[in-house]
Homo-oligomer: A and B are copies of this chain.
Amino acid sequence: MGNSVIIVDWGTSSFRAWLIDEETGRVRDSIAEGRGMGALDTREFPAYFDECLGAWRARTIPPPVYMAGMVGAAQGWQEAPQPPLPVTIREVARQTVPVSGADDVWIVPGVRVAADPPDVMRGEEVQIFGALALSGGQDARFCLPGTHSKWAHVANGALVDFHTSMTGEVYAVMLGHSILGRGLEESAGENSAAFQLGLEQADRSGGLLLHLFTARTRVLFGGLPLTAVRSYLSGLLIGSEVRAMAELTPPDGKELLLISATALREPYQAALTRAGYRCHWIDSGAATLRGVREVIAHHRQQEGRAGTDV
């Protein structure tokens, strides 16, 4: 049996972990839904880490742990400063930070754009390099939807540019705290006609501040059912993101790699196809796993520890 290694994706709202075989990548065990950092006090991070991973690490020489995501932010467990673009996966591996007081536990840093305006990501960089490895190429453009959606460009194996849109957060905040959420029930099914109408509204002129208000006026006077507001707003915001990004990086006929959880696959594929993109979907969990494995391979080599048997 080969060495084990533990991969953790620890973000503000989620914690996922995998115990894998370092050489084959086979998943030996996994934790699908742990607690995100937002649900914990900063001082609880080490204890929660032990609680989740203690059993996997109960060896004479515990398997190394590599963590990606907001765990390396200033408000995370320990800050891992982000190297500026352009960045290769080798550089990410080189900048990986040991967690002080822990044995062979590492935080993969994010990356940042050191331009005006600056930009920043933590966690998506390993998904990008993972998806690149899965696709077998060295050049690609990426869309990673979410709370803070990222559009990224890799050339010759290096991440050379990316942009962030607050799509998911604006969706949650407007539904939870603005007039748009008024009268909404806790949950309602998806409404594909309303989603489509949202995409169409986003293509009109007037800007997002105007489009948002139509999610209210269409309920008052346009026949939009209250149960369809979430789907409509989702179409509006995803459509607005894609439309604006299409101005920055127009469809070029090549495949755009869409990295997301299953839930966002269909809505983004619909919006991207509508905007003229050809896209290929890659599951974000698979991309994370593969990306961190790639980081680990480089990092163990850089540390001169590759192949050490436990």
A residues with a Cβ closer than 8 A to B are 112, 114, 116-120, 148-149, 163-167, 169-170, 173-174, 176-179, 201, 205-210, 212-214, 217-218, 220-222, 237, 240-241, 243-245, 247-248
**Smallest distance from the beta carbon of A76 to chain B beta carbons, Å?**
13
The answer to whether B217 touches A165, judged by C-beta atoms less than 8 angstroms apart, is: no
Query: In the assembled complex, which residues on chain B have CB atoms less than 8 Å from the CB atom of A164?
Result: 210, 213, 217
CB <8 Å contact, B117 and A165:
no
The residue of chain B having its C-beta at the shortest distance from the C-beta of A241 within the complex is B209
Question: How close is A59's CB to chain B, nearest CB, in angstroms?
Answer: 38
- Copies of this chain, how many? 2
Q: With A170-B209, A206-B244, A208-B208 in contact, do A217 and B177 touch (Cβ < 8 Å)? A: no
- Once A208-B207, A243-B207 are accepted as A-B contacts, the answer to whether A117 and B148 lie under 8 Å apart by CB is no
* Pair A220/B178 contact, Cβ less than 8 Å: no
Q: Out of B149, B166, B173, B213, name the residue touching A148 (CB < 8 Å).
A: B213
Cβ–Cβ contact B207 & A119, under 8 A: no
Q: With a CB–CB cut-off of 8 A, which chain B residues contact A221?
A: 112, 114, 118, 120
Check B213 against A166 for contact (C-beta < 8 Å).
Answer: yes
Contact residues in B for A237 (Cβ distance below 8 Å): 209
Looking at the assembled complex, report how far the CB atom of A309 sits from the nearest CB atom of chain B, in whole angstroms.
42
Chain B residues, CB < 8 A from A214 = 117-119
Q: Which chain B residues border A247 with CB–CB below 8 Å?
A: 205-207
- Docked-complex contact B176 and A207, CB < 8 angstroms: no
Residue of B nearest to A75 (CB): B182
Q: Whole-angstrom distance from the CB of A244 to the nearest CB of chain B?
A: 3
Q: When chains A and B are docked, how far (Å) is the Cα of A116 from the Cα of B205?
A: 13
Smallest CB gap from A244: residue in B: B207
Q: Given the complex of chains A and B, what is the CA–CA distance between A173 and B176 in angstroms?
A: 9
